[in-house]
Structure 1
Amino acid sequence: MPRPQQRASLSPVNIQVDWRRIRRMAGRAAVVAAAIPLTAGATVMAADKIRGQRYPLNKKFPTAEPKSVGIDGNEAIVFTYGADLYDSMIEAIEAAEHTVFLESYIWKGDATGERFKQALSAAARRGVQVYVIYDGFANLVVPQAFYTFPPQVQVLRFPALRAGLLTLNLRRSGRDHRKILVVDDEVAFVGGYNIGEEYATKWRDTHLRLEGPAAWELRNAFVDFWNRWRTGKHPVLQDKGAEHWQPGLRAARNSPSDLVFPIRGIYLDAIDRATSHIYITQAYFIPDRDILDSLLEAAARGVDVRVLVPERSNHSLADWLARGRYTKLLRGGVRIMLYEGAMVHAKTATIDGRWATVGTANIDRLSLTGNYEINLEIVDADLARTLEDVFRMDESNCHELTFEDWRSRSFLTKIGERVLEPLEPLL
């Protein structure tokens, strides 16, 4: 009589050993999955650095003379060339009688940076109250001695490392990406320009100078940030209320520590209102799903949507991640203009010749839901018209990327875009 077939059984010990093996295998797979895009990203940046040395972004580009526009009792001047802007900023500092507030994400220790340092120091020595904020992380390569000022100058270094930074705690991981100068509560500057020799002549950027009651918007932004992040050695700045309400000119301020990000909201609201045209200029353009869908919906209803970005920026990884949006944008009727031979760093937009924004925020995750940023939202036909003239000037230095051109890119380029896609949350 045949013996019944015996069934194999797994003991609890054997099951435990199997789960441990599965966990090890899953861990190794996760490490490999993370390593592939990270390695690819490092390779892209290394290759781009070599390419940048061979083909630097220093081609001459068109610029416009500073143009003055009146906005509801204020004078606004649009700057498109760094050397012109720096001259105006230094002139304002040298004319200061009471206070100077300067905040900059990057402040290089070169000749241009030294020029600002000397102007601020001289103002402090003649009795002007001078307050300075700079981002510690963005300036790690600058010798710390450069930021040694006369004792009269109050300096706040936004710390490079804060508790919670390494765990990506959103409230504690944002950088101070703002660029603000306010003099005597009457003259104020904001825009994309950092402080440095390279930005003076080699980068195309946009900055706005305000003179009048609207300077309060930028003064208030500086004061709030200073009082929020000052230490015991820093004095409290007086928080003055606004004597004039100007609903057509407001500052939108992103504040990660408070989980407040209004700049994204002003873009979504303005795009939703568009009926004629949308002109956007960005250094790094990686829109999230909502902004991407809003632009596509605008194009679908007949709005002329154009996005102007550098053909090759100073951050190659951002370029690769931005290209992940190009297929949807181009297929959906959005026109993409590629700026040639130089870095365009402006963060501006105009809609329907009525609405405009100028500021420090890029349309990417870091700016819209990560860093401290500030953008002016302005509803004024004259300023919008001026910025549209600037946009057309920049278009003269562009070539348009067509959908046919984009579809014909190499297979390896398409693979690279897919491999690098997981790195998108970092930017």
Structure 2
Amino acid sequence: MSRSGQCGYVCSVPRPRLPRAVVRAGALTVAAPFAVAAALIVTDAVKKYRRDTTEVKFPHLPPLDGEVAGTRTRLFTYGEDLYADMLAAIRGAQHTIMLESYIWKGDAIGAEFKDALIEAADRGVSVYVIFDGFANLVVPREFLQFPERVHVLRYPAFRPGLLTLNVRHSGRDHRKILVVDDEIGFVGGYNIGSLYATDWRDTHLRLEGPAVWDLRNAFVDFWNSTRRSHLPVLPDPGSDLWEPHIRPARNAPGHLLFPIRGIYLQAIDRAQSHIYITQAYFIPDHEILDALLAAARRGVDVRVIVPENSNHVVTDWLSRGFYSSLLAGGVTIWLFQDAMVHAKTATIDGVWTTIGTANIDRLSLSGNYEINMEIYDEGLAAQMERVFESDLSNCRELTAEEWEERGRVARISERVLAPLRPLM
């Protein structure tokens, strides 16, 4: 037998045990944010259940037409207008339809889209569909089953990173894309469902012309890299278009590509006059927060519209954790009233605009598959400023004085929930 020191034989040295009080304190620290989040979710659900189901009304503009570098554009701020245009494009398809949606409700609007796609396949159109499995867990499985002539890719509901809370390996396919005949494309924040047609304020963009290739390419790349063997490979033609005035930024966590955060930072750093941001879920990281505060310090008019009460109460509270810094730094916060604003847009200095699917939070900027169009055009920026002004008419400004008067429970809850920010 081997010997060790004066023990005579190899000694087993016991590991020091942490005091029981320290272990309990650590467990409470980890559990507290989740406990507070659970309490908020239950309380919010009860409030929504008791709330009167009155008709939701908010200002919105008719579709706004324009042109950017040879591509015709149409800006949508109301779901009914958008869905009518999307369905018309699907029903007029001659060759191919590529539809990708994060959420696809099994309601009347959802069924209308499903029927239109099947009818297109019946007349010989090649139809390809992608939807996110996790986002549609509450949708009856049979609703999202299609005839074999419709090619369907269901992005897996559960991914391995979920167990380790790694957003890069657990994020979702959060994109919303429609491409018809490689000639007409749609991208933006709208999912598919009756709720979004009339009750949510969102923003979507239609493209017709050369820039549609970018949306097609985004769909094809995701399809070919994610498809299973029973699904066909889509052709991946190149393009001779190099147009810097309208181009996509595509987050692809599986390939370590995260350009959307970069386009925001570059545009914010360039701002001289004004920054208008509209976000459903606003949880900026330190770099974006610092860039916004630096812009405000140099005299830029920085305004952020968020819902006063979104459909995710925990996200609301996490967002509020930044309000003190933003308000103290000269950023104005505008709370959208009596409806959910779900847009993911920004426009800066009357020249730069982004419209897409990504929120300013860690999940969108480093975890999900996302796509935002980056557009440098005064005409479209002017339209986006009209949209922003319309939305402001349905907002109330949150003042620093009002925010400082919030109660002690709210302040404590904000601090306790802060560790959850990297997960959202």
Q: TM-score range by the shorter chain?
A: over 0.9
Which residue of structure 2 aligns with residue 421 of structure 1?
418
Offset, 1:143: 1.2
Matched, 1:209 2:203: no
1:34 alignment partner, one of 30, 37, 50 = 30
Give runs of aligned pairs for residues 65-104 of structure 1, distance below 5 A. Answer: 65-104=62-101
Write the distance in 2 (CA, Å) between the matches of 1:57 and 1:250: 40
Of residues 279, 300, 304, the one that matches 1:303 is 300
Equivalent in the alignment of 1:47: 43
What do the CA deviations read for 1:52-100 (whole angstroms, capped 9, x no partner)? 2233685310011001011111110000000110000000000000000
Matches within 5 A, 1:10-409: 16=14, 19-22=16-19, 26-55=22-51, 59-409=56-406
Q: Distance in 2 between matches of 1:15 and 1:321?
A: 45
Would you say the 8 A contact 2:167–2:363 is kept in 1?
Answer: no
In the TM superposition, residue 26 of structure 1 has moved relative to its aligned partner by 4.3
Structure-2 separation of matches of 1:284 and 1:117: 29
Going from structure 1 to structure 2, the CA distance change for 1:282 and 1:21 (only over 3 Å counts) comes to: closer
Separation in structure 2 between the aligned mates of residue 354 and residue 262 of structure 1, nearest angstrom: 20
- What does the per-residue CA deviation read over 1:189-211, in whole Å, with 9 as the maximum and x for residues that have no partner? 00000001100000000000000
- Per the normalisation by structure 1, the TM-score is 0.94
Q: TM-score, normalised by structure 2?
A: 0.95
- The Cα of 1:29 is off from its aligned counterpart by 2.9
In the TM superposition, what is the alpha-carbon distance from 1:230 to its structure 2 partner? Answer: 0.4
Q: Which deviates more, 171-180 or 248-257?
A: 171-180
| Shift in alpha-carbon separation, 1:331–1:226, aligned structure 2, 3 A | same
Checking the alignment, whether the CA contact within 8 Å between 1:57 and 1:341 is kept in structure 2 is no
C-alpha offsets along residues 216-237 of structure 1, whole Å, 9 cap, x if unaligned?
1100000000001001001100
> Retained in 2: the 8 A contact 1:77–1:209?
yes
User: Is the Cα–Cα contact under 8 Å of residues 177 and 372 in structure 1 kept in the other structure?
Assistant: yes
CA drift of 1:148 comes to: 1.5
The Cα RMSD (Å) is: 1.6
Tell me how far 1:108 sits from its aligned partner.
0.6
Alpha-carbon distance in 1 for matches of 2:91, 2:374: 29
> What is the alpha-carbon distance in structure 1 between the residues aligned to residue 22 and residue 235 of structure 2?
56
How far the C-alpha of 1:35 sits from its partner, in A, is: 1.4
Q: Return closer, same or farther for 1:159/1:14 CA change in 2, 3 Å cut-off.
A: closer
Partner amino acid, structure 1, of 2:386? D
Give % identity: 62
Query: Secondary structure, in 3 states, of the residue corresponding to 1:209?
Result: strand
Q: Report the residue type matching 1:291 in the other structure.
A: I
Q: Distance in 1 between matches of 2:307 and 2:18?
A: 48
How far off its partner does 1:15 sit?
8.1
Q: Is the 8 A contact 1:287 1:364 kept in 2?
A: yes
1:111-156 per-residue CA deviation (whole Å, 9 max, x = no partner) reads 1100000000000000000000000000001111111212110000
CA contact 1:79–1:207 (8 Å) conserved in 2? yes
What SS does the aligned partner of 1:281 have?
A: strand
The amino acid of 1:301's aligned partner reads R
After superposing the two structures, state which structure 1 stretch, 24-33 or 89-98, moved more.
24-33
Q: CA deviation at 1:323?
A: 0.5
- Measured after TM superposition, the shift of residue 36 of structure 1 is 1.3
Cα offsets for 1:365-408 (capped at 9, x unmatched): 10011100000000000000001100000000000001111111
**CA distance in 1 between partners of 2:50 and 2:199 (Å):** 16
Is contact 1:170–1:257 with CA below 8 Å preserved after alignment? no
Aligned partners of 1:180 and 1:190 also within 8 Å: yes
Q: How many residues align?
A: 414
Q: Secondary structure at the match of 2:421?
A: helix
Amino acid aligned to 1:268: L
Q: Residue 271 of structure 2 contacts residue 300 of structure 2 at CA under 8 Å; is this kept in 1?
A: yes
Aligned residues of 2:132 and 2:154 also touching (Cα < 8 A):
yes
Return the offset for 1:240: 1.2
Task: Give the residue type in structure 2 aligned to 1:30.
Answer: G
Deviation at 1:289, TM superposition (A): 0.3
- Alignment partner of 1:137: what SS? coil
Q: Secondary structure at the match of 2:45?
A: helix
Report the Cα offset of residue 172 of structure 1. Answer: 2.5
Q: Is the 8 A contact 1:171 1:258 kept in 2?
A: no
Query: What amino acid sits opposite 1:108 in the alignment?
Result: K
Deviations 1:215-270 (A, max 9, x none): 01100000000001001001100111113221110100001101110000000000
